[in-house]
A and B are shown apart, each in its own frame.
Chain A
Amino acid sequence: MAASVRFRWRPCSRVLRLHTVAEASAARYPPVVASLTAKSQAARQRRVERWHREAHDAPSAEAKLRVLTKLQRLKYVVYPQTFALHADRWYQSFTKTAYLSGLPLPPPPGPGEPGGPADLAPLRSAACDCLLQEHFHLKRRKRAPLYREQESAASPFLRQLVASLVGLLTPHNPSLASAALDFRRPVHFYWWRGEEIIPKGHRRGRIDALRYQIDDKPHSQIRMPKQLSEFVPLDYSVPIEIPVLNCKPDKLPLFKRQYENNIFIGTRLADPCCYGHTQFHLLPDKIKREKLLKDNRADQIEVGYRANAIASLFAWTGAQAMYQGFWSEADVTRPFVSQGVVTDGKYFAFFCYQLNTLALTAQADQNNPRKNICWGTESKPLFEVIEDGDVKGFNDELLLRLVQFLMNRPEENRSQLL
């Protein structure tokens, strides 16, 4: 009896309740999301997304850099000038760079041809003067101390060569007039690539990104207010595969340290010359040609040049891109291009680097077909021998290539704010 009464009454009360539930269901309870502090993948995902949102919402590039580099943890310190074996393959895998031999530029135009220098003689005489000054005219009383020969002879020669060539080519290349020439300015870059499970410590068993830092000091660099034009389109698919190494970076050998995560192109953010043009690197005494030949490492001579170029130019172009506000979750919309010359005082090797992607983290790299590209040449001597106040066997091709590098200018009609 009571049950039937209840059954009869229920439809009325249910109809009444239906109206109120529909109105109140929208704002009744807060959204059900994963925890923020738990030891779970969902919680980690939520923390990472919160951090990404904070970086996306940063008002300026400076604030963005601060958010991205604030947290310090153990990171691999990558040295561009290294004597480690097969360093260029390792660095290619760290920076997602494909190495192509041969430059994307046409062969250097000779004197008088369009695009080339008007007259080669003053340039050649300037280069020979720099060589003779250091190697012949300047009589040093004492021999350079051990492992300091480069900084006593080759470094001042390169400095003088760069300064004089830039000065002589400025009338032909007006963009060099507004360029800035720095000597021994630090270049820093910090990035993440790949993941690992932490083997030991209080964070054991958790997934952690691998962090890398490059602290480079190129011998000299030229910075411009406008970006150089790209060599290939942004989404160009390179036929070469990037080497994949199936052991930890520690085997290179590469060591971890924890300190400030710096990102620096040579000047601070406010500088108008924030795009890179050319960098010059002088190889240290540890990887001199004679030393490598004596140690059974003849095939590592070119590796030293390539590793230095890939690491230094990646750090420079990456830092330039981060200065413009791009980062791994906000990938570059236009390629960043720079050139580099690596030398040991006598042998010169030329490199061009195009940064197509900054998205190297495990999360951002899942569907990223873009690769960074580095073009390079073998190292060739600038001269054969210097004796009796005369430079024998001067290589004009090399000088023309150097002049072509310095004459490279950004396109006139190219707008900067893309």
Chain B
Amino acid sequence: MQATAWAQARQPGFVSFCPPSAADRKFREPLSERTRVMARNVLYPLYQAGNPQLRIFRTNFFIQLVRPGTAQPEDTVQFRIPMEMTRVDLKNYLQKVYDVPVAAVRTRIQHGSNKKRDHRNVRIKQPDYKVAYVQLAHGQTFQFPDLFPEKDRSPEAGSVDDIQNQFMEDERQRQKGEPRRGGVPDWFGL
């Protein structure tokens, strides 16, 4: 079983998405010789001279566009990307998948806090994540949209809500005491 799986994986052009088994691990090429390709947590077949270019058609990377916490220049877009993705990967990703011209990418890794403790005093780790700042080419600009705009909460005239609100308003006016007493209840006095 292991032998056939390994033989299948060694065929040129085969891209396996299964995590390697223990037997395969000793044949796996070291990390430094593995070239960067457009997917994460996969084992790629070893390149032999004469092999065609390895192509990934459905990438394993998924990125999130986020609203920047501090003010950014108009041409800068902020993403949260997987830790294994590099700035070159992100540039290719945006240009080939989304057709977005990218001029420059800068990345940093945000440390997730390990300070909180649960009821057993065991530390709780928030996951680390990678942030990428992408500057768009050709003078394009981007503004993160307002996803939850303020809606006009006043009910329209003639609707049930409006009549109800009007009725409650009238009731409140009726219950109110004399304005000259300044809010003091009428049972208070000599």
Which A residues are within 8 Å of any B CB, using their own CB? Answer: 85-86, 245-248, 251, 253, 295-297, 299-300
Closest partner residue, chain B, to A297 (CB atom) = B103
| Stretch of B22-30, B70-78, B109-117, B172-180 contacting A (4+ beta carbons < 8 Å) | B70-78
CB < 8 Å: which of B70, B106, B137 contacts A296? B137
Q: Is the CB of B73 within 8 A of A86?
A: yes
Main secondary structure of the interface of B (DSSP, over half): loop
A295-B103, A299-B138 given; 16 more Cβ-contact pairs under 8 Å: A85-B104, A86-B73, A246-B71, A247-B71, A247-B72, A247-B73, A248-B71, A251-B72, A251-B73, A253-B106, A296-B101, A296-B138, A297-B103, A297-B137, A299-B137, A300-B103
17 contacts between A and B (CB under 8 A): A85-B75, A85-B135, A86-B75, A245-B73, A246-B71, A247-B70, A247-B71, A247-B72, A247-B73, A248-B71, A251-B71, A251-B76, A296-B101, A296-B103, A296-B137, A296-B138, A299-B137
**CA of A251 to CA of B74, assembled, Å:** 11
CA distance A297 to B91 in the complex (A): 13
Chain A proximity of B53: nearest CB distance (Å): 20
B interface residues, Cβ below 8 angstroms from A:
70-73, 75-76, 101-104, 106, 135, 137-139
**What residues of chain B lie closer than 8 Å to A299, measured between beta carbons?**
137-139
User: What residues of chain A lie closer than 8 Å to B70, measured between beta carbons?
Assistant: 247-248
Alpha-carbon distance between A415 and B22 when the two chains are bound, in angstroms: 87
Residues A85 and B71 in contact, CB atoms below 8 Å apart: no
Across the A-B interface, give the 8 residue pairs with the lowest CB-CB distance, nearest first: A247-B71, A296-B137, A297-B103, A85-B135, A296-B101, A296-B103, A251-B73, A85-B103
- CA of A248 to CA of B101 in the docked complex: distance in angstroms? 25
Residues of A near B101 (CB, < 8 A) are: 296
Which of B70, B103, B138 neighbours the largest number of chain A CB atoms within 10 Å of its CB? B103
Partner of B102, one of A248, A253, A296: A296
Least CB separation from B104: chain A residue: A85
What chain A residues lie within 8 Å of B73 (beta carbons)? 86, 245, 247, 251
Report Cα–Cα, A63/B66, bound state, in Å: 51
CB distance from B140 to the nearest CB of A (A): 11
* Chain A neighbourhood of B71, CB < 8 A: 246-248, 251
Minimum CB–CB distance from B143 to chain A (whole Å) comes to 13
Nearest chain B CB to A277 CB, angstrom units: 36
Complex Cα gap A253–B135 (Å): 11
Instruction: Give the distance to chain B from A76, nearest Cβ to Cβ, in Å.
Output: 16
Question: In the complex, what distance in Å separates the CA atom of A395 from the CA atom of B138?
Answer: 30
Which residues in B have their C-beta under 8 angstroms from that of A248? Answer: 70-71
Chain A residues whose CB sits within 8 angstroms of the CB of B137 once the complex forms: 296-297, 299
CB-CB under 8 A from B139, the residues of chain A are 299
Residue ID in chain A nearest B101 by CB atoms? A296
**Bound form: Cα–Cα A85–B139 in Å:** 10
* Nearest B residue (CB) for A253: B106
Complexed CA–CA distance, A86 and B140 (Å): 12
A251–B76 CA distance with the chains assembled, in angstroms = 9
In the bound complex, how far is the Cα of B71 from the Cα of A300, in angstroms? 23
Contact partners of A86 in chain B: CB under 8 A: 73, 75
Smallest CB-CB separation from B138: which chain A residue? A299
Contact residues in B for A253 (Cβ distance below 8 Å): 106
Q: How far is the CB of A110 from chain B (nearest CB, A)?
A: 38
Q: How many Å lie between the Cα of A366 and that of B137 in the bound state? A: 36
A-side contacts of B103, CB under 8 Å: 85, 295-297, 300
Q: How far is the CA of A247 from the CA of B70 in the complex (A)?
A: 8
Which residues in B have their C-beta under 8 angstroms from that of A246?
A: 71
Contacts of B75 in A (CB 8 A): 85-86
User: A78 CB to closest chain B CB, in angstroms?
Assistant: 17
Q: Which residue of A lies closest to B71 (CB)?
A: A247
Question: Closest CB-CB distance, A84 to chain B, in whole Å?
Answer: 8
Q: How far is the CB of B135 from chain A (nearest CB, A)?
A: 5
With a CB–CB cut-off of 8 A, which chain B residues contact A247?
Answer: 70-73
Q: Report A-chain residues with C-beta under 8 Å of the C-beta of B72.
A: 247, 251
**For residue B139, which residue of chain A has the nearest CB?**
A299
A295 to B102, CA, bound (A): 8
A295 to B101, CA, bound (A): 10
Give the distance in Å from the alpha carbon of A86 to the alpha carbon of B70 in the complex.
Answer: 19
Instruction: Determine the distance from Cα of A295 to Cα of B71 in the docked complex, in whole angstroms.
Output: 26
Residues of B within 8 Å of A245, CB to CB, are 73
For A297, what are the chain B residues with a Cβ–Cβ distance below 8 Å?
103-104, 137
CB of A253 to closest CB in B, whole Å = 7
Most buried by B among A86, A245, A300: A86
CA distance A253 to B72 in the complex (A): 11
Closest Cβ neighbor of A296 among chain B residues: B137
Complex Cα distance, B76 from A253, in Å, reads 12
